[in-house]
Amino acid sequence: MIVLQAMVDGLSLGALYALIAVGYTVVYGIIQLINFAHGEVFMVGAFGSMTVWLLVPGQQLGLWMLPIMLIGGMVASVAIALLMERVAYRPLRNSPRLAPLITAIGVSVFLQEFVRLFYGRIPGFPDAKANVTFPTIEGVTGTAIKLGGLDIDRPTIFTLAALIVCTVFLYLFVNKSRIGRAMQATSQDPDTARLMGINVDRIIMIAFAVGAVLAAIAGTAQGMMNTNINFKMGFIAGLKAFSAAVLGGIGNIWGALVGGLVIGVLESLATQVMPHGSAWKDVWAFVVLILILVFRPQGLLGARVVDRA
């Protein structure tokens, strides 16, 4: 029973990681850049939906608020992701590998601090230096649903549903739409894609935007799951999502989804089954990350790009 319960908890964690991991993987697939600051896009998404909730008068908690909040989060995180791409990464596209990675660390620290320092300065907004309590939207938060001895948290249901919907949309987008096919072409061979009349800069921006949209959904979901958000929520979540992306095979969108779920379930099981699991669970997660990077850098489903020199 406890193992089953752990699986359920793990699936909801994993769905979060999966949603974030897609962001790493699409960007990587196209420009071979590890967007280290993607965790912060996720964080900004959570704060974006929080902001929208605060702006709607009367502290509404009805389920109809959820889509509005999601859109708010998406706007915020897409804006940040595009700004980041334009200002920090694009000028460095042809410099040595080290440069964008260090830039990414800088962007990451900057965004965390910016939110920490200035979010609470807006009149009527809570101080973001400590945890910010996330609104408890009716229906998707509240007492867990009992299902044959299992407790299924309501946010879990929302997160899993979001993951399924996103997967379907992502599939249609990548395989059926013109832009999606242009993305595939660019990822296979950017130079030829450019010759074929594809605006590569635009494709890269779209890749960042797609990642940001999913990250915003994950941010809102985590807000409801943990009942609070804070400025540093992106760091560890980002690292684990990156592990998920690598586990699935970086550059491979479906790999990121599978990898996320696997990492989430493993983490949850490690907490329950391993001795002193809750203290060491992050250590196990990182050990898994290192082992994958060393022994199977192409991931479970295989990445398109294997040579990581």
Partner 1 sequence: MRKHRLAVAGAAFIALSLTATACGTRSDNTNAGTGGATQDKTAKIGVIAPLTGDLAPLGLGIKNSVDLAVKQANQNHTIPGWTLELDAQDDQATPATGQNAATTLAGDDDVIGVVGTLNSSVAQTVQPVLNNAKIVEVSPANTGVALTKGEDAANPKRPYANYFRTCTTDDIQGPFAARYLFQDKGLKQVATINDKKTYGAGLVASFETEFKKLGGKIVSHQTINPDDTNFSPVISKVQGAHPQAIYYGGEYPQAGPLSNQAKSAGLDVPVMGGDGIYDPAYIKQAGSKSDGDLATSVGAPADTLPSAKSFVDAYAKAGYKDPYAAYGAYSYDAANAIINALKTSLASADDAKSARQATIDAVGKVDFDGATGHVSFDQYGDATSRVLTVYAVKGGQWAAVKTGEFK
Partner 2 sequence: MSLPGIPVAIRRRYGPVARIVTIACGVIIAASAYLPWAYGSDALDNVTYVGGPSFIQFIALGMGLVLPALVVCSIRWPAGFGRTRVGWIRGARALATGLLIIFVVIAGAISVQLGGTININYGAWVGLAAALIGFVATRFLVQEGAPTVNRLKTPGWLSILAIAVVMLVMLFVAYYALDQSNPGTFVTFIVYTGVGVAVLLRTGALGWLTAATGAHRRVMLLAAFLVAFLFPFTQGGSDANMSIAAQVLVFAATAMGLNIVVGLAGLLDLGYIAFLGSGAFVAAMLSGTAMATFDVHPPFIVTMLLSGCVAATLGLVIGSPTLRVSGDYLAIITLAFGEIFRLSMNNLDGSDGPDLTHGSRGISDTGDLNLFGFDFGATHTIAGIEIGRFANYYFILLIWLAIVILIFSRLNNSRIGRGWVAIREDEKAAEAMGVNVFGLKLLAFASGAFLAGVAGSIKAHVDISVTPDSYVFLQSSFLLAAVVLGGMGTVLGVLIGATLLQLMPEKLRFVNEYRLMFFGLLLVVMMRFRPEGIIASERRQLEFHDEDEELAERLDDNLGPSTGAVAVEGASR
Q: Which residues bind partner 1 (CB under 8 A)?
A: 1-2, 5-6, 9, 12-13, 129-131, 133, 136, 141-144, 146, 151, 153-154, 222, 225-228, 230, 232-233, 236, 267-268, 271-272, 276-279, 281-282
Helix (H) or strand (E) holding 161: helix 154-176
Does 287 sit near partner 2 (CB under 8 A)?
Answer: yes
Task: Select from partner 2, partner 1, none the partner in contact with residue 101, using the beta carbon and a kind-dependent cut-off of 5 to 8 Å.
Answer: partner 2
CB of 169 to partner 1, least distance (A): 26
- The stretch near partner 2 (CB under 8 A) out of 56-64, 154-162, 178-186, 273-281 is 273-281
For Cα atoms 258, 34, 180, give the angle at the middle one, nearest 5 degrees.
60
Separation in Å, CA 127 to CA 117, 133, 136, 305 = 8, 10, 18, 43
159, 165, 169, 174: CA torsion to nearest 10: 60
Distance (Å, rounded) from C-alpha 147 to C-alpha 168?
27
In this structure, the number of other CB atoms found within 10 A of the CB of residue 54 comes to 16
Q: Which residue has the tokens 């958000």?
A: 229
Does 239 sit near partner 2 (CB under 8 A)?
Answer: yes
Distance (Å, rounded) from C-alpha 234 to C-alpha 89?
19
- Residue 125, classified by CB atoms within 10 Å of its CB into exposed (0-12), middle (13-18) or buried (19+), is middle
**Measured from the CB atom, is 113 or 201 closer to partner 2?**
113
Does 173 sit near partner 2 (CB under 8 A)?
Answer: no
Task: Select from partner 2, partner 1, none the partner in contact with residue 154, using the beta carbon and a kind-dependent cut-off of 5 to 8 Å.
Answer: partner 1
Number of residues that bind partner 2 (CB under 8 A): 44
Contact 141, 69 (CB under 8 A): no
**Measured from the CB atom, is 13 or 37 closer to partner 1?**
13
CA atoms within 13 A on the CB side of 251: 19
**Measured from the CB atom, is 146 or 176 closer to partner 1?**
146
Helix (H) or strand (E) holding 234: helix 233-248
CB of 92 to partner 1, least distance (A): 30
Interface residue with partner 2 among 114, 125, 173, 254 (CB under 8 A) is 114
**Measured from the CB atom, is 145 or 291 closer to partner 2?**
291
CB of 37 to partner 2, least distance (A): 10
Does 130 sit near partner 2 (CB under 8 A)?
Answer: no
**Measured from the CB atom, is 184 or 272 closer to partner 1?**
272
Does 120 sit near partner 2 (CB under 8 A)?
Answer: no
Distance (Å, rounded) from C-alpha 234 to C-alpha 46?
10
Does 106 sit near partner 2 (CB under 8 A)?
Answer: yes
Strands (E) located in the chain: 132-133, 145-147, 150-152, 228-229
- The stretch near partner 2 (CB under 8 A) out of 7-15, 150-158, 200-208, 272-280 is 272-280
